[in-house]
Amino acid sequence: MTKSARARSPRGSASTRAPIQRVDTLIVGAGAAGLSAALWLRDFGLDALLIEESPRPGGQLHEIHAPIPNYLATHGWDGARLAGAALSDARLAGLSILVGARVTRISARGRWIDREEDDAGGEARLHARALVLATGLRRRSLGVPGEAELTGRGVSHSANRDRERFAERPVVVVGGGTAAVEDALLCAEVGSEVTLLHRSGTFRARADFLERARAHPAIRIVQNAVVTGVEGSDAVEGVTYRARRGRAESRVACSGVFVRIGWEPRTELVRDQLRCDRAGYLRVGASGVTSAPWVFAAGDVCAPNCPSIANAVGQGAAVAWEIARRLGRVRG
Ligand SMILES: Cc1cc2nc3c(=O)[nH]c(=O)nc-3n(C[C@H](O)[C@H](O)[C@H](O)COP(=O)(O)OP(=O)(O)OC[C@H]3O[C@@H](n4cnc5c(N)ncnc54)[C@H](O)[C@@H]3O)c2cc1C
């Protein structure tokens, strides 16, 4: 395998060799699933190149701000610590990771990808014998005016991380799942007056959380409320919404907005090429095989029923075993 001119170690140093045209295995996404697949491939003596759009590998791990209660041997670490440890493993194993490189096109049949050049703004095509899609999930956004503009200036996705910033000031939480209701409770705990806006008439949240939220004097719940905008110039000042079957707009003044309306799989580049379920998750068979030969998937992008670190790590390993088996590196 020729190595990339931009193939970076996780430390970010760049080599000066010729650009890659072809690799054994390309892994799109360096979250838990992609990193695990690459480690196992390396263990089988196979080369893999991880391509990651973020400047730091680890994916959603960087969003876990509370101690992880359910992954073996992490002793209450938060996600950043686990990502750091995973990265140090990747470094020791000498994995090749291209960071800050967004994949913009994927051909499942041709087994190539185009990626943005991080500095030049052009694109480079990479061919591979096997493709592993480990692109995970992205947070759903409201898609209303003001949301993107005020992200980081009052619009947040995590009360665990940001609630103290809005302590004792009014906030809005948007959503009807467990994460939204939990965020409402967390904000109320630090003295915020909370308005919980939910677009449906029924909640999907855990019953015990919902009960606590309903009973909490600082939490006002508005159902069938469709958010229409986030207001503010330099920082969030309010949220507008209307009733699901009405036109009249209401406004609630607030300093913070927590958008907790769920996640969606990052399959937009392959949805018309590979079998997906109705929500867009890749459908995989045993060992992560997709509907295209030599194209595999691992982690949250194909695990609507079990989005977890353990599953992502396990599926990454299973995919690597399958590739190694097909390449005659392992029997059975
Ligand atoms: C707040 C929070 C708390 C959680 N708590 C727990 C917990 O307690 N226990 C637990 O087990 N799990 C928890 N999880 C879930 C867990 O973090 C995920 O299931 C797991 O990290 C998923 O890993 P993944 O590799 O499948 O996907 P991701 O982590 O989403 O990684 C996908 C990677 O692909 C990259 N990518 C996507 N598209 C492209 C592209 N076009 N080009 C280049 N790169 C691309 C992304 O940048 C990302 O780095 C939590 C998640 C969150 C957000």
Confidence class of residue 247 from pLDDT cuts 50, 70 and 90? confident
- Point out the ligand 1 atom lying closest to the alpha carbon of residue 138: 30
77 CA distance to ligand 1 centroid (A)?
16
- pLDDT of residue 17 exceeding 90: no
Type of residue at 268: E
**28-42, 85-99, 119-133, 295-309: which range is least confident on average?**
119-133
- Point out the ligand 1 atom lying closest to the alpha carbon of residue 179: 1
61 CA distance to ligand 1 centroid (A)?
6
d(CA 256, CA 5) in angstroms, rounded, equals 44
- pLDDT of residue 332 exceeding 80: no
Could you say which DSSP state residue 79 is in?
A: H
**Judging by beta carbons within 10 Å of its beta carbon (0-12, 13-18, 19+), is residue 12 exposed, middle or buried?**
exposed
220 CA distance to ligand 1 centroid (A)?
32
The pLDDT of residue 121: 62
- In 3D, which of 40, 19, 14, 161 has the Cα closest to residue 93? 40
Sheet with 249-253: list strands edge to edge: 225-231, 238-243, 249-253
The pLDDT of residue 246: 86
Furthest CA-CA distance within the chain: 66
Structural domains of the chain ordered from first start: 17-139+263-326 (3.50.50.60), 155-259 (3.50.50.60)
Residues near ligand 1 (Cβ within 6 A): 28-34, 51-54, 59-61, 63-64, 68-71, 102-103, 134-137, 266, 299-300, 307-310, 312
250 CA distance to ligand 1 centroid (A)?
35
Query: CB of 10 within 8 A of CB of 57?
Result: yes
> What's the predicted TM-score (pTM) here?
0.87
- pLDDT tens sequence across 110-156: 999 999 875 656 678 999 999 999 999 999 999 999 999 999 999 99
The pLDDT of residue 22: 84
Greater confidence, 18 or 6? 18
**β-pair type (48-51, 22-28):** parallel
